[in-house]
Amino acid sequence: MSIVRISGLMHLDLSNNQIIGELPSDFGKLCKLSRVLLSRNQLV
């Protein structure tokens, strides 16, 4: 399931999940997303 399908998503906390790499460009399509927490990951 793509995160873009959750069109009403307003807050997303992915902190401390050991995520590596880049965020998908699809995050830009989440127009209602107002808060994203991504600390303690290895994002570039």
pLDDT tens digits for range 2-44 = 888 898 999 999 999 999 999 888 888 999 999 999 999 999 8
Residue 1 has pLDDT above 70, yes or no: no
Give CA–CA dist 39/29, Å, rounded: 21
pLDDT of residue 4: 84
Give CA–CA dist 5/43, Å, rounded: 23
Tokens of 35: 């808060």
